[in-house]
Amino acid sequence: MEGQKKVLSFPIGGAESAKYWLSMMNDLKSRGVRRVLIFCTDNLRGLDEAIKSCFPQSDHQKCIVHQIRNSVKHVSYKDLKEVSGVV
């Protein structure tokens, strides 16, 4: 809350499954992480459940960039500027 930020993990590889995410959250706990204020993620399958399971008091915010990308992929290219508000 006082403005301190830390990268807690930067894993490379692995299959991004519900089991994998739960393993990642348990690894954080085993290394001493007791509380995470906010998780900001791309909301991959199983990630929300893993966060709730290991850090139930944490807020989970979906990354706005990923939300926008997922929304505009359904828009025709010719309408993209108008829909996205880009001038």
pLDDT tens column, 48-69: 999 999 999 999 888 888 778 8
Contact 22, 46 (CB under 8 A): yes
The pLDDT assigned to 50 comes to 93
Provide the 3-class DSSP secondary structure of residue 4.
Answer: coil
Does the pLDDT value for residue 13 go beyond 80?
Answer: no
Between CA 33 and CA 21, with CA 11 as vertex, the angle to 5 degrees is 65
- Residue type present at position 18: A
* Percentage of the chain exceeding pLDDT 90: 22
The b-or-e profile of 22-40 (16+ CB within 10 A means b, else e) is bebbeeeeeeeeeebeebe
Domain ranges of the chain: 18-75
